[in-house]
Structure 1
Amino acid sequence: MAFPLPRAHPVLPRFERVDLCYKTLGSTEFEAAILVSHSLASSSRKTNRPLLVHFHGGGLLMGTILDSAILSVWPLELAENENAVVVSPAYRLLPEAKGGDILDDIKDFWIWVRSSLPTEIAKRWPHISLDVDRAAVFGESAGGYLSLQSAFLCPEANIKLVMPQYGAMFPDIDEYLPKVPQSTPGSDDIVDAYLKNIEPGAIRLLSPYPTFGPFAGAVAGAGRHRDLLGDDKRLNLDYGLNNVKVLPPVWVAQGTDDTIVSKEASDELVKRIRNTHPNTPLLYSVQPGGHGFDNDHTLAEPWITEAMEFVQKHWP
Structure 2
Amino acid sequence: MAHAPPADNSRFEPFSITKHAYKIVNDQEIDLHVLIPKNVTSGKHPVIVHLHGGFFMAGDAMFPDWAAQWALDYQLEQSAIRISANYRLLPESNGLEMMSDISDLWKWVENELPSYLKEIGSDVTPDLDKVIAYGESAGGYLAIQSGLMRPDLVKAVIGAYPVTYVDSDWYAKASTDKAPFGTPQLPRNILDDYIASMKPGSIFTSAFPPARVPMGIVALQNGLFPQLMGTDDSLYPDRILAKKSGDEKVPYLYVLHGKGDTAVPCEQSVKFVKEWQAKFGEESAIAEFQEGEHGFDGEAKLEDEWMQRGLAGVTKAWMG
Scaled by the length of structure 1, the TM-score of the pair is 0.90
Tell whether the 8 Å contact from 1:10 to 1:73 is kept in structure 2 after alignment: no
Matched, 1:87 2:83: yes
Distance in 1, matches of 2:161 and 2:54, equals: 12
Tell whether the 8 Å contact from 1:19 to 1:32 is kept in structure 2 after alignment: yes
Q: Provide the residue aligned with 2:106 in structure 1.
A: 110
Q: Secondary structure at the match of 2:309?
A: helix
Q: Provide the residue aligned with 2:225 in structure 1.
A: 225
Q: Provide the residue aligned with 2:3 in structure 1.
A: none
> How far 1:303 moved relative to its partner?
1.3
Matched, 1:276 2:276: no
> How far 1:173 moved relative to its partner?
4.0
Q: How does 1:155-170 map to 2 (within 5 A)?
A: 155-156=151-152, 158-170=153-165
Tell whether the 8 Å contact from 1:47 to 1:127 is kept in structure 2 after alignment: yes
From the superposition, tell whether residues 37 and 186 of structure 1 become closer, same or farther in structure 2 (CA, over 3 Å): closer
Q: Provide the residue aligned with 2:254 in structure 1.
A: 251
Tell whether the 8 Å contact from 2:259 to 2:291 is kept in structure 1 after alignment: yes
Matched, 1:12 2:12: yes
**Does 255-264 or 125-134 show the bigger shift?**
125-134
Distance in 1, matches of 2:235 and 2:112, equals: 27
| Among candidates 30, 51, 55, match of residue 55 of structure 1 | 51
From the superposition, tell whether residues 27 and 289 of structure 1 become closer, same or farther in structure 2 (CA, over 3 Å): same
Tell whether the 8 Å contact from 1:69 to 1:209 is kept in structure 2 after alignment: no
**Does 130-139 or 226-235 show the bigger shift?**
226-235
Deviations 1:8-58 (A, max 9, x none): 544211111001111111311111100011112xx5xx3110101100000
Structure 1 spans left out of the alignment, 5+ residues: 1-6
Deviations 1:141-160 (A, max 9, x none): 0111000000112234x111
Q: Secondary structure at the match of 1:39?
A: coil
Q: Provide the residue aligned with 2:126 in structure 1.
A: 130
Aligned CA RMSD, in angstroms, stands at: 2.1
| Among candidates 149, 166, 180, match of residue 174 of structure 2 | 180
Distance in 2, matches of 1:198 and 1:213, equals: 17
**Does 215-224 or 107-116 show the bigger shift?**
215-224
Tell whether the 8 Å contact from 1:177 to 1:260 is kept in structure 2 after alignment: no
Q: Secondary structure at the match of 1:11?
A: helix
Counterpart of 2:68 in structure 1: which amino acid?
S
From the superposition, tell whether residues 117 and 309 of structure 1 become closer, same or farther in structure 2 (CA, over 3 Å): same
**Does 59-68 or 213-222 show the bigger shift?**
213-222
Q: Matched residues, percent identical? A: 28
> How far 1:308 moved relative to its partner?
3.2
Q: Provide the residue aligned with 2:67 in structure 1.
A: 71
Q: Provide the residue aligned with 1:239 in structure 2.
A: 239
Counterpart of 2:106 in structure 1: which amino acid?
W
Tell whether the 8 Å contact from 2:50 to 2:83 is kept in structure 1 after alignment: yes
Structure 2 spans left out of the alignment, 5+ residues: 1-6, 178-183
Counterpart of 2:45 in structure 1: which amino acid?
R
From the superposition, tell whether residues 296 and 12 of structure 1 become closer, same or farther in structure 2 (CA, over 3 Å): farther
Matched, 1:291 2:286: no
Counterpart of 1:167 in structure 2: which amino acid?
P
Q: Secondary structure at the match of 2:13?
A: helix
Deviations 1:62-98 (A, max 9, x none): 0011211212111110111111000011100000001
Counterpart of 1:153 in structure 2: which amino acid?
M
> How far 1:181 moved relative to its partner?
3.6
What is the count of residue pairs matched by the alignment? 304
Counterpart of 2:14 in structure 1: which amino acid?
R
> How far 1:232 moved relative to its partner?
2.0
Counterpart of 1:54 in structure 2: which amino acid?
H
From the superposition, tell whether residues 185 and 286 of structure 1 become closer, same or farther in structure 2 (CA, over 3 Å): closer
**Does 143-152 or 123-132 show the bigger shift?**
123-132
> How far 1:205 moved relative to its partner?
0.5
Q: How does 1:195-210 map to 2 (within 5 A)?
A: 195-210=195-210
Tell whether the 8 Å contact from 1:137 to 1:161 is kept in structure 2 after alignment: yes
Tell whether the 8 Å contact from 1:257 to 1:291 is kept in structure 2 after alignment: yes
Runs of 4 or more, structure 1, over 3 Å off, are 7-10, 181-186
Tell whether the 8 Å contact from 2:32 to 2:86 is kept in structure 1 after alignment: yes
From the superposition, tell whether residues 211 and 313 of structure 1 become closer, same or farther in structure 2 (CA, over 3 Å): same
Distance in 1, matches of 2:262 and 2:72, equals: 26
Tell whether the 8 Å contact from 2:260 to 2:291 is kept in structure 1 after alignment: yes
> How far 1:230 moved relative to its partner?
1.6
> How far 1:118 moved relative to its partner?
1.0
